[in-house]
Structure 1
Amino acid sequence: MTIITGSGNCGNSPKNRLAEELTIALAQADEAEIRARVTEEVAWRRVGGETNKGADALLAAVEALGPARELIIEQALSHGRAGAVNGTLRYASGEEAFCHVFQFNNAKGARVAAITTYAIPRP
C-alpha cells in the first residue's frame, strides 16, 4: 500500500484535483483510476527514457515500475489546458524527485491527453 501525502491545495480547482488524483493513481499503479482519467490515445514521455503511446502502453509502463511505497505531493497546479504536479516518489529500489506535466484534452480538463515526466533519482 502506498503512503500518500497530498498537496492540500486542490479544493477550488477541478483540474488541480484531476492532476493530483492521476498522480496518485500512477504511484499506486491503479489501472481503473488511470483509465478513468486519461484518453485512449494518451502519450506518456519520461524525459531521458521512452514515450508510451496509448492507454495500454501507459499501463504496461506503470505496471513495470510497480506501486510506489510513498508519494509526497508538494504542489499541484493548472492553467488553461496544462497542469503539473511535483514531489517525491519512494520505491523499494530508491527515491526520486519528480514533476509530471499534464496536457488536458480540453479547457475543462475532463481527461489527460499527454504526460511529460521529469524524474531525478535521489542518492
Structure 2
Amino acid sequence: MVTVRATPDCGNAPRKEVLRDFVIAMAEADGETLAGMVGEGVEWHLVGEAVLRGRAAVRVWAAGLPVAREITFGAVITHGREAGVDGTTEAADGRRYAFCHVLRFAGAARTAKIAEIRSYVLPGGEAEQM
C-alpha cells in the first residue's frame, strides 16, 4: 500500500478528490481505476515520452507502472473544466520523482471524465514540499 502525504482541505472542491484518486491510482499501477476515470477518446501526453490515445492504451500503460512506496502532494488546483496537481513520489527502490499533471475534463459536471492530460515527471523530486 502506498503512503499518502497530503494537507487536508475544506472539501468544497469535489474534483480535488478526483485528482488525488488519479495520482494514487498511478502510484498503485491501477490501470483499471485510471481507465475508469478517463473518457474513451482521452489523449494523455507524457511529455518527452509518448502520447496515449484512448482508454485501452491508458489501461495497458498504467498496469505496467512500478508501484510507488510514497506520494507527497503539493498543490491540488481545480477551476471549471481544468485542474492540476503536483508533488513527489518515491518508488519502491528509493528513487524519487517530481510530477505535475494538468488535466482537462470533458465537462463541468462532477461526473465528467478526463478528456486530456499533460504529465511532466522528473527524476530527483525534493523530499519536502513547500
TM-score clears 0.5:
yes
Structure ID, larger Rg? 2
Identity percentage of aligned residues: 33
Cα shift at 1:88: 0.3
Q: Distance in 2 between matches of 1:50 and 1:58?
A: 12
**Could you tell me how far apart the structure 2 residues matched to 1:16 and 1:10 are?**
10
- 1:91 deviation in Å? 1.2
Q: Residue deviations 1:36-61, cap 9 Å, x none?
A: 32112212111111011111111222
Q: CA RMSD in A?
A: 1.7
* 2:109 is equivalent to residue 108 of structure 1: yes
- Greater RCO, CA 8 A, separation 6+: 1
1:41-120 to structure 2, matched below 5 A, reads 41-93=41-93, 94-109=95-110, 110-120=112-122
SS of the residue corresponding to residue 39 of structure 1 reads strand
Whether the 8 Å CA contact 1:7–1:75 is kept in 2: the answer is no
Q: What's 2:124 paired with?
A: 122
Structure 1 runs (4+) deviating above 6 angstroms are none
Could you tell me which runs of 5 or more consecutive residues in structure 2 were left unpaired when the two chains were aligned.
Answer: 126-130
**d(CA) in 2 for partners of 1:38, 1:72:** 23
CA distance in 2, matches of 1:46, 1:87: 16
Structure 1, 68-77 or 10-19: larger mean CA deviation? 10-19
What pairs with 1:6-21 in structure 2 (closer than 5 Å)?
A: 6-9=6-9, 11-21=11-21
Which consecutive residues of structure 1, in runs of 5 or more, have no partner in the other structure? Answer: none
Aligned to 2:128: none
User: How many correspondences in the alignment?
Assistant: 123
Corresponding letter in the other structure for 1:44: W
Structure 2 counterpart SS, 1:12: coil
Is residue 9–residue 75 contact of structure 1 (8 Å, CA) maintained in 2?
no
